[in-house]
């Protein structure tokens, strides 16, 4: 059965779900890993984003709304604003395509945290409307169509809203294009660049006057981009419309759905999927038991292999 490039990439993405679910299941399984994660997360405190004063930006908005897209289960983005030394609750939503898995993990380990809401970067404007700020951290390069995701995010923002991106550079190269890692995020000569082995796009040039892009490489190597929406939906340039074509979306989603069903009807494939998850879960079970410093050392060695 011949499949489109989008379907092939999405299939690779789907195969990465087992690893991701196993990872979070074991972060939440162990008290020390859960406490370690919540220790660096900003949940319960003021919003804090590397390289961007989100608190100041949102205080200028009468009714600010924030969406942490591809959030995983980290709750990394703070859920309050700070004004005159006081914390004010913030309208924030944690969005992830694996929300069904993640909410089951929350229930399993009895964690009283906000539920993860379902949404996909590639179709974000169908889930989010009139947002003040959308954050995507170490997740855009995990999506099956990151450039489409950027355009969708901009359409989900109100005019003047900000899309905040923060990513490790060239993760797909480091991960040898396995699982979720099919695209790289990088900065070249002050430009935000999305690329893989077959394509390369300079985001600022693509967006033109519809949005401004400020990108910087932080001292720790992170690529931070602040993308501000300037135009309204009616001013979306023709070159961007292909990324938000509803008919194309419907056709590709139907193909992905039926191709996935075709590939997973046999007992052998279902058994393979169960074994795959069981293996990843066992690996993560052992990995999360290790001290943090040792885990980072092992991870660096694996990436270099």
| Tens digit of each residue's pLDDT (9 = 90 or more) over 56-100 | 999 999 999 999 999 999 999 999 999 999 999 999 999 999 999
- Best CA proximity match to 139, nearest among 113, 116, 161, 171: 171
Output helix, strand, coil percentages for the chain, rounded to the nearest 5: 45, 20, 30
pLDDT of residue 226: 98
**What fold characterizes domain 5-304?**
Rossmann fold (3.40.50)
Provide CB contacts within 8 A for 287, sequence distance 6+: 26, 295, 298
Give the list of residues 6+ apart from residue 3 with CB closer than 8 angstroms, or none: 11, 255, 259
Q: Are the CB atoms for 61 and 67 separated by under 8 Å?
A: no
Among 193, 183, 121, residue whose Cα is nearest residue 153? 121
For the cut 80, the answer to whether the pLDDT of residue 298 exceeds it is no
CA distance 48 to 27: 23
Tokens 């996909």 label which residue? 120
**Tens of pLDDT along 220-245?**
999 999 999 998 878 888 999 999 98
The whole-number pLDDT of residue 126 equals 93
- Domain ranges across the chain: 5-304
Bridge partners, residue 225, by sequence: 165, 215
Burial class (CB within 10 angstroms; exposed 0-12, middle 13-18, buried 19+) of 288:
buried
Q: Can you say whether the dihedral through the CA atoms of 204, 215, 175, 17 is positive or negative?
A: negative
Residue 303's pLDDT band, with cuts at 50, 70 and 90, is: very low
């Amino acid at each position: 059965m011949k499949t489109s490039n989008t379907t092939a990439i999405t299939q690779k993405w789907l195969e990465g779900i087992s690893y991701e679910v196993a990872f979070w299941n074991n972060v939440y399984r162990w008290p020390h890993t859960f406490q370690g994660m919540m220790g660096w997360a900003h949940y319960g405190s003021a919003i804090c984003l590397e390289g961007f004063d989100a608190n100041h930006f949102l205080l200028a908005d009468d009714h600010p709304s924030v969406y942490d897209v591809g959030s995983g289960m980290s709750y990394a983005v703070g859920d309050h604003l700070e004004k005159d030394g006081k914390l004010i609750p913030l309208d924030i939503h944690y969005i992830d395509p694996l929300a069904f898995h993640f909410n089951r993990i929350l229930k399993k380990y009895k964690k009283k945290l906000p539920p993860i809401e379902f949404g996909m970067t590639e179709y974000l404007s169908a889930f989010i409307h009139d947002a003040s700020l959308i954050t995507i951290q170490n997740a855009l390069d995990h999506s099956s169509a990151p450039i489409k995701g950027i355009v969708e995010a901009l359409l989900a923002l109100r005019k003047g809203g900000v899309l905040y991106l923060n990513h490790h550079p060239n993760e797909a190269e480091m991960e040898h294009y396995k699982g979720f890692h099919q695209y790289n995020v990088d900065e070249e000569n002050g430009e935000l660049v999305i690329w893989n082995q077959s394509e390369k796009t300079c985001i600022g040039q693509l967006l033109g006057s519809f949005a401004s892009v400020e990108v910087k490489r932080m001292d720790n190597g992170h690529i931070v981009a602040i993308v501000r929406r300037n135009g309204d939906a009616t001013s979306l340039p023709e070159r961007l419309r292909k990324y938000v074509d509803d008919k194309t979306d419907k056709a590709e989603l139907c193909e992905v759905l039926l191709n996935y069903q075709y590939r997973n009807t046999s007992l052998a494939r279902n058994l393979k999927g169960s074994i795959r998850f069981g293996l990843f879960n066992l690996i993560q079970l052992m990995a999360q038991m290790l001290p943090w410093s040792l885990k980072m050392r092992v991870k660096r060695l694996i990436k270099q292999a």
